[in-house]
């Protein structure tokens, strides 16, 4: 039986447990039956090994819009009669995991009874540590589910990590390169690398370039290199799956599992499993008495009693952390070395107290690996308090930040604001921000007269200096990061530090050029946020696509069935798998405004930087945008809420637009550099990107060129100076157009009626390439898809004008 596949070995091994109930045969009948069955299985197994390469299941059953992306050789290619092996025979740790454990009768029965199904439709993959545990306990894995509580399972998981490698850690600098993202199929890969392979072949054979021919030997050379590429890719993905699994289990076990709700959820899950194993899932009379769980020699060798606190295991999972709090500096120069206690009244307080570092509203997590002591990140989670706004900036964002703070004052914001920075921001930048937040603000633009009645009586408070002063804190996270890993947080990485190390329990993370048109308190009252503790907004549904391999990759790094069975980490469902990215679109989320409740989602927040570290993930995302929802889903946390509407173009309608024959368009067009975000509950505008200037990149524009190339809709601008003034002034907002979106296959509707074919068109010649035009419908005749055209009411328009004047400084 040594040649049999692991799954068939498992099936045959389970025979003795099942035979007493399934096969009531005796004597020679049993012998004849089992000999025949064994012969049949052996023949079937030999056929499978001959005709099917299991490692090519990476793309099984996935369909693209053009054709199947199942990776194999096309009919005109050499026969694929080889199998993939590990790139290095001695690197056993990261060979693709043996998934035969999923064929265990108990595992399958638990899946059915607990309704745990893998909807990803891919070849299963899970942490190699589960394979270690299964090998250590062989057929006695039954005793694990029947005896161990949640905390004991947590310790068992990490005991096995220690037993295999005493020096294990999750190294952010681990080399996990992304190779050939766009070409995974053999023919595409061969075409993409043909010249490179040809050169390499010529060098190896020491021939002249003119002597090269596409011989059978060269074909075999190409196949061998493809095998190496494929093996390397599988090894990288397995390593990443291991890292992410270790991370999500550690976070769930030792960081977030301390609230009464979480403890009860895990306790109920384990109790149900034990009940099912002991009563409903008894497979054979031999298991009437459930065996006790006995640790393997390797597990026993790890003396968990020698761990004095959480520091050893936490440092292995988060080596990039120094385990020091950030430095919190108030606008008046007051400095705290731990999170402050902040609320809506903080702006009126002379002194701010630090939150008690050693007090927790919850019971400590029980674990021998931590000596029942809370981990640093658990303490930080429980120290966070209140609601507030969070930004991360550098000196180049100073002007936008000042404009935003002025806008927040006009919006009557009373929530504290924290500006989180990693690389230094200058004293001059801080001074400008504090001045904008604290100086008297009585002189309002003339547009205020039309909306004054909409604000409360204390809107311009004489004692408070006019518009409400803002409570500003500067949060320096420089000492939070271990010296060896500071280069990991350049650019977009700062946003993940701001997400984790602001001191608020509930926070709104915004960019410096995010233009709100509703008070921040409004967003925390949205039903979707109250229900889930998050609120996300969608991006434009432009015709920008990602390769099919991205979709498969994102599926593969999601939680496995073993994560669900062992630790109650949910599988991804259609909620995740139906978002735009999984249909092949490049963008799903706009991260200019994100709202999160830390106490509900700390584990998902901690997943973000780990995804950012990994090149195969980072290069598949534009900055931080997709890493928010992806971190949630990879963490097994689908309790996040998306605003219903996709991003819109906001502005005015071009009244001169008409077809060449003089007839009117069925569609309406709105052009703007600003993606707007329209509330999914009532179709009112919530916020938009790129500030209130018509062109948020007005400083970088080549004005003579823009004036020369200006669109027909801007033909009324008669000079370069007028173009400059137009770009600087506030965007005029009267309408929003949200193009239709049903699915990827119907994003373009060619027609003979002169109507737009697709919903979004980018104009590189306007506003430094930021101008987009959107159409509220596409197609013509009987084949029209309708989106939304929203006309904002008069009150909203007057408010937009007032807020715009505040932002740009109009009197």
Angle at 759 between CA 754 and CA 760, to 5 degrees: 110
- When comparing pLDDT for 51 and 595, which is higher? 595
Going by pLDDT thresholds of 50, 70 and 90, the confidence category of residue 438 is: very high
Per-residue pLDDT tens digits for 666-723: 999 999 999 999 999 999 999 999 999 999 999 999 999 989 888 777 888 999 999 9
Q: What is the pLDDT of residue 62?
A: 30
**Cβ-count burial of 561 within 10 angstroms (0-12 exposed, 13-18 middle, 19+ buried)?**
buried
For residue 340, the enclosing domain spans 327-539+588-634
- Sorted by sequence, the CB contacts under 8 Å of residue 169 that are 6+ apart come out as 315, 316, 317, 319
Tokens 């790890």 correspond to what residue?
A: 302
Residue 106, pLDDT score: 83
Give the residue among 390, 413, 131 at the shortest CA–CA distance from 245.
131
Supply the DSSP string of 640-652, one letter for each residue: --B-SSPPEEEE-
What is the per-residue DSSP string for 202-246? HHHHT--GGG----HHHHHHHHHHHHHHHHHHHHHHHHHHHHHHH
Q: For the chain, what is the mean pLDDT?
A: 86
d(CA 339, CA 354): 6
Domain end among 298, 316, 344: 298
Q: Are 513 and 770 in contact (CB under 8 A)?
A: no
Three-class secondary structure assignment of 471-504: CEEEEECHHHECHHHHHHHCCCHHHHHHHHHCCC
Statement to judge: residues 163 and 235 lie in one domain = yes
> In this structure, are residues 504 and 390 in contact, taking their beta carbons and an 8 Å threshold?
yes
pLDDT at res. 624: 85
Q: Residue 295 is encoded by which pair of tokens?
A: 């640790």
Write out pLDDT tens, residues 112-164: 989 999 999 988 899 999 999 998 887 677 889 989 999 999 999 999 999 99
In the chain, what percentage of residues exceed pLDDT 70?
87
Nearest-angstrom CA–CA distance, 590 and 230? 33
Note whether residue 740 is domain-resident. yes
What does the pLDDT read at residue 489? 87
Q: Is 336 helix (H, G, I), strand (E, B) or coil?
A: strand
What's the CA gap between 435 and 371, in Å, rounded?
A: 48
Nearest residue to 318 via CA among 253, 376, 383, 268 = 376
pLDDT above 70: residue 40: no
Give the pLDDT score at 43: 55
- What is the predicted pLDDT for the residue at 65? 35
Cβ proximity of 502 and 475 under 8 Å: yes
Residues 621 and 654 in one domain: no
Are 658 and 741 contained in the same domain?
A: yes
Determine the Cα–Cα distance for residues 732 and 470; give it in Å rounded to an integer.
Answer: 27
Which pLDDT value is given to residue 371? 93
For residues 339 and 505, the answer to whether their CB atoms sit within 8 Å is: no
Q: What is the dihedral of CA 657, 663, 667, 670, to 10 degrees?
A: 10
Residues 233 and 349 in one domain: no
* 634, 664, 691 - which closes a domain: 634
688 φ, ψ (degrees, to nearest 5) = -150, 170
Tens-place pLDDT, residues 261-302: 999 999 999 999 988 888 766 655 555 677 789 999 999 999
Quick check: is 45 in a domain?
no
Is the separation of the CB atoms in 638 and 606 below 8 Å?
no
Question: Which residues are paired to 748 by β-bridges?
Answer: 758
Residues ≥6 apart with Cβ < 8 Å to 424 = 478
**Is residue 25 a part of any domain in this protein?**
no
Q: In this structure, are 618 and 723 located in the same domain?
A: no
Q: Structurally, how many domains does the chain consist of? A: 3
Closest residue by Cα to residue 526 from 789, 636, 518: 518
Contact assessment for residue 217 and residue 104, using Cβ atoms and an 8 Å cutoff: no
Banded model confidence at residue 512, pLDDT cuts 50, 70, 90: very high
628 and 521 within one domain: yes
Question: How large is the angle between the packed helices 216-250 and 548-556, nearest 10 degrees?
Answer: 40
Q: Could you tell me if 615 and 596 are in contact, meaning their C-beta atoms sit under 8 angstroms apart? A: no
370 part of a folded domain: yes
Helices within 52-149 (DSSP H only): 105-114, 128-137, 141-147
Are both 661 and 626 inside the same structural domain?
Answer: no
Instruction: Report d(CA 438, CA 43) in Å as an integer.
Output: 82
Give the pLDDT confidence score for residue 514 in this predicted structure: 98
Specify whether 612 is located in the same domain as 685.
no
Closest CA to 283 of 525, 535, 19, 547: 19
Q: What is the CATH number of the domain that holds 460?
A: 3.90.550
Cα→Cα distances 537→368, 461, 586, Å: 42, 34, 15
Shared-domain flag, residues 722 and 595: no
Query: pLDDT by residue (tens digit) across 532-576?
Result: 999 999 999 999 999 988 999 999 999 999 999 999 999 999 999
C-alpha to C-alpha distance for 570 and 603, rounded to whole angstroms: 13
DSSP for 269-310, written as a single string: HHHHHHHIIIII---SGGGSSPPPP---HHHHTS-GGG--SS
Instruction: Tell me the two tokens of residue 419.
Output: 């500006």
Output DSSP code: residue 746: G
Give CA–CA dist 129/161, Å, rounded: 7
Read off the pLDDT of residues 290-347 as tens digits, 9 standing for 90 and up.
778 999 999 999 987 789 999 999 999 999 999 999 999 999 999 999 999 998 888 8
Q: Domain ends where: 634, 662, 691?
A: 634
- Angular region, 781: left φ>0, alpha ψ -120 to 50, beta rest: left
Sign of the torsion angle spanned by Cα atoms 700, 705, 711, 716: positive
Q: What is the dihedral of CA 621, 623, 625, 629, to 10 degrees?
A: 60
Contacts of 423 (CB under 8 A, 6+ apart): 394, 478, 490, 494
In a domain, residue 40? The reply is no
Give the residue-averaged pLDDT of 573-593.
94
Do 364 and 479 lie in one domain? The reply is yes
Consecutive H or E run containing 369: none
At 375 the pLDDT is 95
Maximum Cα interatomic distance, the chain, rounded to a whole number of Å? 102
Q: Is residue 607 part of a domain?
A: yes
List pLDDT tens digits, range 452-461.
999 999 899 8
Residue 313 lies in a domain: no
DSSP classification of residue 595: E
Question: Is 319 part of any domain?
Answer: no
Question: Do 341 and 448 reside in the same domain of the chain?
Answer: yes
pLDDT digits (tens, 9 = 90+) for 179-226: 888 888 899 899 999 999 999 999 999 999 888 999 999 999 999 999
- From the list 644, 408, 397, the residue with the least C-alpha distance to 515 is 408
Flag whether pLDDT at 394 surpasses 70: yes
Flag whether pLDDT at 646 surpasses 60.
Answer: yes
Helices (H) and strands (E) in the chain, counts: 28, 19
CA distances from 323 to 86, 168, 320, 739 (A): 37, 19, 9, 47
Q: Tell me the DSSP string of 496-533.
A: HHHHHHSS-SEEEEE-TT-EESS-HHHHHT-HHHHHHS
3-state secondary structure of 665: coil
Which range, 19-33, 346-360, 531-545, is most confident? 531-545
pLDDT recorded at residue 30: 52
**Is 339 found in the same domain as 376?**
yes
Residue 74 pLDDT exceeds 50: no
173 pLDDT above the threshold of 60: yes
């Amino acid at each position: 039986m040594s040649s049999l596949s692991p799954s068939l070995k498992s099936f045959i091994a389970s025979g003795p447990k099942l035979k007493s109930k399934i096969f009531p045969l005796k004597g020679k009948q049993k012998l004849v039956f089992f000999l025949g069955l064994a012969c049949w299985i052996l023949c079937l197994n030999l056929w499978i090994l001959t005709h099917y390469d299991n490692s090519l299941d990476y793309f099984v059953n996935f369909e693209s819009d053009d054709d199947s992306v199942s990776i194999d050789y096309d009919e005109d290619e050499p026969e694929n009669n080889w199998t993939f092996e590990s790139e290095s025979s001695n690197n056993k740790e990261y060979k693709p995991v043996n998934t035969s454990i999923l064929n265990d009768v108990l595992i399958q029965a638990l899946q059915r009874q607990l309704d745990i199904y893998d909807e990803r439709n891919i070849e299963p993959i899970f942490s190699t540590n589960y394979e270690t545990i299964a090998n250590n306990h062989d057929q006695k894995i039954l005793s694990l589910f029947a005896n161990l509580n949640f905390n004991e399972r947590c310790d068992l998981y990490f005991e096995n990590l220690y037993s295999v490698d005493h020096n294990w850690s999750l190294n952010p600098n681990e080399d996990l390169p992304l190779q050939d993202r766009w070409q995974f199929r053999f023919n595409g890969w061969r075409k993409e690398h043909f010249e490179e392979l040809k050169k390499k072949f010529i060098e190896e054979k020491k021939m002249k370039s003119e002597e090269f021919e596409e011989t059978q030997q060269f074909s075999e050379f190409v196949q061998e290199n493809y095998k190496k590429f494929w093996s390397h890719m599988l090894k990288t993905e397995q390593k990443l799956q291991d890292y992410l699994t270790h991370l999500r289990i550690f976070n769930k076990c030792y960081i977030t599992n301390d609230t009464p709700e979480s403890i009860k959820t895990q306790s109920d899950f384990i109790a149900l499993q034990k009940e099912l194993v002991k009563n409903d899932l008894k497979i054979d009379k031999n298991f009437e008495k459930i065996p006790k769980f006995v640790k393997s020699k390797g597990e026993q060798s790890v003396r968990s009693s020698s761990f004095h606190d959480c520091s050893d295991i936490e440092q292995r999972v988060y080596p990039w952390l120094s385990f020091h709090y950030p430095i919190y500096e108030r606008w008046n120069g007051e400095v705290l070395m731990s999170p402050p206690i902040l609320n809506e009244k903080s702006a009126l307080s002379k002194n701010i107290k630090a939150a008690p570092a050693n007090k927790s509203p919850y019971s400590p997590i029980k674990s021998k690996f931590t000596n029942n002591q809370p981990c640093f990140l658990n303490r930080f989670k429980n120290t966070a308090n209140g609601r507030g706004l969070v930004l991360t900036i550098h000196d180049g964002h100073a002007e936008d930040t000042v404009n935003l703070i002025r806008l927040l004052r006009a919006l009557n914001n009373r929530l504290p604001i924290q500006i989180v920075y990693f690389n230094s921001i200058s004293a001059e930048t801080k001074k400008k921000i504090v001045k904008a937040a604290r100086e008297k603000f009585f002189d309002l633009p003339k547009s205020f007269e039309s909306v004054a009645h909409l604000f409360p009586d204390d809107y311009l408070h004489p004692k408070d200096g006019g518009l409400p002063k803002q409570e500003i804190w500067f949060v320096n996270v420089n000492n939070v990061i271990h010296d060896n890993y500071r280069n990991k947080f350049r650019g977009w990485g700062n946003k993940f530090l701001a997400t984790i190390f602001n001191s608020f329990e509930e926070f709104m993370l915004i960019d410096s050029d995010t233009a709100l048109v509703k008070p921040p308190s409004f967003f925390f009252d949205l039903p979707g946020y109250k229900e889930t503790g998050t609120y996300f907004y969608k991006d434009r549904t432009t015709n920008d696509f990602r390769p099919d391999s991205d979709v498969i990759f994102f599926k593969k790094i999601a939680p496995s069935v073993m994560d669900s069975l062992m630790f109650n980490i949910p599988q991804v469902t259609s909620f995740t798998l139906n978002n735009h990215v999984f249909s092949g679109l490049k963008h799903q989320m706009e991260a200019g405004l994100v709202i999160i409740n830390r106490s509900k989602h700390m584990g998902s927040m901690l997943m973000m930087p780990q995804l950012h570290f990994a090149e195969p993930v980072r290069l598949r995302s534009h900055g931080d945008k997709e890493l928010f929802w992806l971190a949630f889903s990879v963490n097994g946390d689908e309790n996040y809420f998306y605003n219903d509407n996709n991003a819109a173009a906001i502005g005015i309608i071009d009244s001169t637009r008409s077809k060449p024959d003089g007839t009117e368009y069925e569609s309406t067009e709105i052009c703007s550099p600003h993606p707007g975000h329209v509330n999914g509950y009532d179709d009112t505008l919530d916020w938009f990107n790129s500030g209130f200037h018509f062109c948020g990149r007005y400083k970088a524009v080549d004005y003579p060129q823009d004036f020369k190339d200006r669109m027909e809709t801007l033909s009324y601008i008669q000079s370069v100076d007028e173009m400059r003034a137009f770009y600087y002034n506030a965007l005029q907002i009267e309408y929003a157009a949200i193009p239709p979106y049903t699915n990827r296959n119907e994003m373009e509707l060619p027609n003979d009626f002169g109507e737009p074919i697709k919903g979004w068109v980018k104009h590189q010649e306007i506003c430094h390439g930021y101008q987009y035009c959107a159409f509220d419908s596409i197609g013509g005749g009987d084949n029209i898809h309708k989106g939304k055209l929203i006309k904002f009411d008069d009150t909203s328009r007057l408010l937009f004008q007032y807020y715009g004047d505040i932002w740009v400084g109009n009197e």
